[in-house]
A and B are shown apart, each in its own frame.
Chain A
Amino acid sequence: MTSPPDLRTLIAEVVREVVADLAGPAPAAAAPPAPVTATPAPPAGVAGAEHVTPPQLRERVEAVRIADDADLDRFARQLLALFENPKNRQDLRAGRLRFRLEGGTTSAVPQTRPVQRIDSGAVTERQVKAAAEAGRRLVLGRRAVLTPLARERARALGVPIEKER
């Protein structure tokens, strides 16, 4: 049994904590263009909410799988739903809630490798092997020709090959 004054102090405490959490540490790098000053009014029925999250940095990384249009649509809707919630909105803006592409991230790997460019002539197995040892990825010009053996070796060694059109 809580008397009205107790209830009032409890609500005040909760509001203070939520507001402190929302106006918490702003990211230095992200620099949101317009700081959100809206202090959401607490719902009336949160008096018993004991599990108010502490105002600390909670970084969340959610894995997202986008393989086709349907996945993309689902993700966009999920993002909209997250945006409805002011707390999630703050997290998203501040970069505390981030997303990671799950599966099929082969394109992310080659970007980190240095590029070895071959403009013309045959691209042989030997060159692929050398690129694999040097940890490079191959970029072939329009007139470069990849031999079948080199293609097989590149697949076996995991050397990314990009052909320009």
Chain B
Amino acid sequence: MSSTAIGMIETKGFVAALAAADAMVKAANVTITDRQEVGDGLVAVVISGEVGAVKAATEAGAETASQVGELVSVHVIPRPHAEIGNHFDVSAK
């Protein structure tokens, strides 16, 4: 789908990531597609959905994460290329 987007929130600490994930799925019609723990306490949550929904969800998730713990980064990729699905676990197709 052309209007699909993926959103990512990375936090330092598991609790902030969990809180952000909860806030994201509650804020808009998005689904959690992946959770990555790369070590050093960094946890990333990946969501997908419509572009507007993903933007709204990451907004809410980022706010919650920064209240609960430490927010590291937020990013939204509207219409990700199909190729990234072959190498990353993001099912935004």
Chain A residues with CB under 8 Å of chain B are 120-122, 124-125, 143, 145-150, 152
16 extra interface residue pairs, beta carbon distance < 8 Å, beyond A120-B70, A143-B70, A145-B74: A120-B66, A121-B66, A121-B71, A122-B62, A122-B65, A122-B74, A124-B62, A124-B63, A145-B72, A147-B58, A147-B62, A148-B55, A148-B59, A148-B75, A149-B56, A152-B55
The 7 closest A-B pairs by CB, nearest first: A121-B66, A122-B62, A122-B66, A148-B76, A149-B59, A147-B62, A149-B55
| Interchain CB contact under 8 A, B58 and A149 | yes
Chain B interface secondary structure, helix, strand, loop or mixed? helix
Residues facing A in B31-74 (CB within 8 A) are: 55-56, 58-59, 62-63, 65-67, 70-74
Report B-chain residues with C-beta under 8 Å of the C-beta of A125.
Answer: 59
| Interchain CB contact under 8 A, B73 and A147 | no
9 residue pairs A–B, Cβ–Cβ below 8 Å: A121-B67, A122-B62, A124-B62, A124-B63, A145-B62, A148-B55, A148-B76, A150-B59, A152-B55
Distance in angstroms between the alpha carbons of A145 and B66 in the assembled complex: 9
Chain B residues with CB under 8 Å of chain A are 55-56, 58-59, 62-63, 65-67, 70-76
| Interchain CB contact under 8 A, A122 and B75 | no
Residue of A nearest to B56 (CB): A149
| Interchain CB contact under 8 A, A124 and B59 | yes
Chain B min CB distance to A119 (Å):
11
Report B-chain residues with C-beta under 8 Å of the C-beta of A143.
Answer: 70
Whether A148 contacts B63 in the complex (CB less than 8 A), given A121-B71, A122-B74, comes out as: no
| Interchain CB contact under 8 A, A148 and B58 | yes
Residue of A nearest to B7 (CB): A148
Residue of A nearest to B72 (CB): A145
Report B-chain residues with C-beta under 8 Å of the C-beta of A147.
Answer: 58-59, 62, 74
Report B-chain residues with C-beta under 8 Å of the C-beta of A124.
Answer: 59, 62-63
| Interchain CB contact under 8 A, B59 and A145 | no
Of listed A125, A145, A147, A152, residue having the most chain B CB within 10 A: A147
| Interchain CB contact under 8 A, B56 and A122 | no
Distance in angstroms between the alpha carbons of A152 and B76 in the assembled complex: 12
